[in-house]
Amino acid sequence: MTFFDGKFPFRQPDYPYHLDYATFENWLLMHKDTLKHISIGDISQHSDRRSFNATLFPHLEYLKLSRWQMHGARVEFRTEDADLIGPRLKTFCWDFTGDFGNAYVWWEFGKAEALWLEKFAKEAIARKAVLQTFEILFDPDRCSTVDAVWPWDLMDDLRERVFRPNAMDFVYATQ
């Protein structure tokens, strides 16, 4: 593992053993007082789907996590997801790009993902967290359309209902 300026880019889709956030957190704990930025892709296809615990890292300001490492195929906000809100976390990035080489399609951001984001943002608001920016990395194959809710309508709605009224930034690619 290589550290550079407090940033730790970790992306190892071919790791042959079971790896989960709990193990990964233990590896990072020796850097808990210096870690400011972390981007974690898919660390295992066989994870227990427990959320990363950002509260363990008091100086963490930026956290990027793979959507596919969280909750598996079905996403719903769980109490432990609030642990993603570290004490100094300013930016949370939810990455839908799929590190294991799987193509992704536009309906993979749906009502369940929008509801998860809304509950996550409301938890940050209730805690009076410094979390200010929510980023969504979502730019799927536009040819893969079916009759479903257009994801950018959901994102626009979230921005207007939840983020703007609370002076939070919500960043995502537009269609």
DSSP letter at 58? T
Contact present, 94 and 71 (Cβ < 8 Å) = no
Domain span including residue 168: 7-172
What pLDDT score was predicted for residue 40? 84
Give the residue with greater pLDDT, 147 vs 26.
Answer: 26
112 in any annotated domain? yes
DSSP annotation string for 162-174:
IIGGGT-EEEE--
1 in any annotated domain? no
Contact present, 171 and 135 (Cβ < 8 Å) = yes
Give bridge partners of residue 105 from the DSSP assignment: 141
- pLDDT interval class at 121 (50, 70, 90): very high
2 in any annotated domain? no
- Give residue-wise pLDDT tens across range 15-73: 455 677 888 899 899 999 999 999 988 766 555 567 899 999 999 999 999 888 777 77
Rounded-to-integer distance, Cα 33 and Cα 61, Å: 12
Number of domains present in the structure of the chain: 1
Mean predicted confidence (pLDDT) in 1-9: 41
Residues of the chain with pLDDT > 90: what percent?
A: 50
